[in-house]
Structure 1
Amino acid sequence: MISLSVIGGGHVGRALGRLFAQQGFAVLDVLARSPESAQNAVDFIGAGTAAGGYAGLRPAAVYMLSVGDDQILPACAALAAAVPLQGAIVFHCSGALASDRLQAARDAGAYVASVHPIRSFADPGAVAAAFSGTFCGVEGDPQALAVLEPALLAMGARPVAINAAAKTVYHAAAVFASNYLTTVLDAALRAYQAAGIPEATARELAQPLVTETVANVFRLGAAPALSGPIARGDMATVARQQQAVALWDAPTGELYQALVAPTEKLASRKHNK
């Protein structure tokens, strides 16, 4: 049985802690911002002991740092100073940072990795109950991944190897796919409203266009799914639209203009296939 200690008692630590425990890992200690938070995490995981500080941690085979990005470096340094790490595995769960942030553990003899589950952890109970099919971006030392990847597969997860040097770009992909998509859709809804369409009607009007476009992107690929004036080479229409949008709302006009060149490149890929 592989022993595991959890550093960070938030939603990610709780959900993954429970999942690792369900796969037969022996959860030893849980360390959080407060003893109360640590005990709540222990209760959720269903195993382990709430630790009062790094000095109270027992040696484990695996340490999971499920802390905020800004806490990874200090947490790793504190862990390396508190317990022997020779031959242990230390991994964090950040989507934005690579495993090289765990250099203090590596210097102490540990094997390091990062495991980033690509989903929301707003409801840790729901995540733990339905983790199967979750993609996890993984990178790090082969010795660490040799232990972590089989456990993820046993949970039903789908580990995907990523380039550690491009970890920030990898994380930005999710921002493009979710956050910036929302920003662009907000621009569309506001533009409909500027044309006199009520907000609720604008959402109804845009929904089939958006859902069909997204479905085509995932069915065909981005370039084949592209339609509209740039795909047709109608740059006169694009120029008129950009000018009209800029007059209506300058920041949205800048957004429109910023998207023209990348869309032209996408259109060239469409026509060169």
Structure 2
Amino acid sequence: MLYHIYGGDTIKIGFIGPGKVGVSLGRYFTHKGMQLSGFYGRNENTAKAAAHATKSKFYKNIHELIKESNILFITTPDDSISIIDNELSKFDLKDKSICHASGSLQSNVLYNAKNSGALIYSVHPIFAFSSKNTNLTALENIYFSIEGDIIENSPIIKLFNEIGNRYFIRNKIDSSIYHLANVLVSNLTLSLLDIGTNYLMKLGLNEEDALNALKPLIKGNIDSICDKGFSNSLTGPIVRGDLSTVKKHLSVLDNQDQELYKRLSINLLKIMAFKETKAGNISLDVNNDSSNEEMAITNLITKSSKHLEIYNILEGVN
């Protein structure tokens, strides 16, 4: 089935940038019944391969892709987006929707395209694309965030309503916070897992064995958080109040990892403290997060001497 814009012409989606994100989204949109115009890219061979993988057309020049597309996705590195915006703006973009797929840049990086008549958007899939051969079933469960020219009957909104993925609208001013959230749970979590795996490798395991050993623990924890939330998934020595275990951890941690351990452990105490506070029906100030955190922590360490000792150690209090 092909979908139409405003009940008229078929929506045709084109891509500038035949990389992991572009090819994966192109394959997915085709999988969901959308029609692709095709791909344009600096490397002709890569663009031809992307067109072949998505059963669409390879374009030698950007103007032909513009003419034959209703929606254009720019799926290139961030540094190239403004360059492409400038190139697109040389043509008539009336009735075109131009999107970039960066989560860190606002839609207004495409201001030249807007001046040439286009509706502009930042459309970011909340997913880590590590391959052009992304599992299409996995993509059915991802969210997209959209920022830009949100209007009635917007082709972009129609597109996502048709393919069925959940999405939310974000404000331009929130772009940095939004992208930070993605980086913390994706890139920086990868870094944290690397640090933890390296400690297991100190016992003589290679990286593959260490990861395979830790995989059920990692996956089980993530599944629990997604199913039950953070506070109901709390486990470990910080939560149990195992002071001796925390001291042993601090004694074997590399110097550069000690502050990280303490900061993350304090956050676990905070999550636990809020859980205890809510269970005790203690009222919190909805307008003052810092005051609530202090109140919750105070409530926890007042009632539990072992958690008070752990808190003092983590905060460096003698």
TM over 0.5: yes
Pick aligned residue for 2:117 from 83, 92, 109: 109
2:72 is paired with a residue whose SS is: strand
Partner of 2:184: 176
Partner of 2:251: 244
Pick aligned residue for 1:96 from 74, 89, 104: 104
Pick aligned residue for 2:57 from 43, 48, 59: 48
- Structure number with the higher helix fraction is 1
Q: In the alignment, is the contact (CA less than 8 A) between 1:226 and 1:270 conserved in 2? A: no
Q: Which runs of 5+ in 2 are unaligned?
A: 1-9, 279-318
Q: In the alignment, is the contact (CA less than 8 A) between 2:39 and 2:56 conserved in 1? A: no
Partner of 1:2: 11
Distance 1:50 1:243 in 2: 58
Report the Cα offset of residue 145 of structure 1: 7.6
Matched, 1:259 2:272: no
Decide whether aligned partners of structure 1 residues 120 and 234 sit closer, same or farther in structure 2, where only a CA change above 3 A counts: closer
Decide whether aligned partners of structure 1 residues 124 and 150 sit closer, same or farther in structure 2, where only a CA change above 3 A counts: farther
User: Which structure is larger by alpha-carbon Rg, 1 or 2?
Assistant: 2
Q: In the alignment, is the contact (CA less than 8 A) between 2:59 and 2:65 conserved in 1? A: no
Distance 1:129 1:214 in 2: 19
Report the Cα offset of residue 157 of structure 1: 2.4
Q: In the alignment, is the contact (CA less than 8 A) between 1:112 and 1:140 conserved in 2? A: yes
Q: In the alignment, is the contact (CA less than 8 A) between 1:134 and 1:156 conserved in 2? A: no
2:151 is paired with a residue whose SS is: helix
Distance 2:128 2:42 in 1: 21
Q: In the alignment, is the contact (CA less than 8 A) between 1:139 and 1:145 conserved in 2? A: no
Partner of 1:226: 234
Partner of 1:87: 95
Report the Cα offset of residue 32 of structure 1: 0.4
Deviations 1:93-115 (A, max 9, x none): 12322212222222222211122
Matched residues, percent identical? 27
Q: Over aligned residues, Cα RMSD in angstroms?
A: 3.2
Deviations 1:34-72 (A, max 9, x none): 3333333322232334123x4555434322211111111
| Amino acid of the structure 2 residue aligned with 1:167 | S
Q: With structure 2 as the length reference, what TM-score do the two structures score?
A: 0.70
Pick aligned residue for 2:47 from 38, 52, 67: 38
Q: How many residues align?
A: 266
Q: In the alignment, is the contact (CA less than 8 A) between 1:133 and 1:157 conserved in 2? A: yes
Report the Cα offset of residue 237 of structure 1: 5.3
1:109 is paired with a residue whose SS is: coil
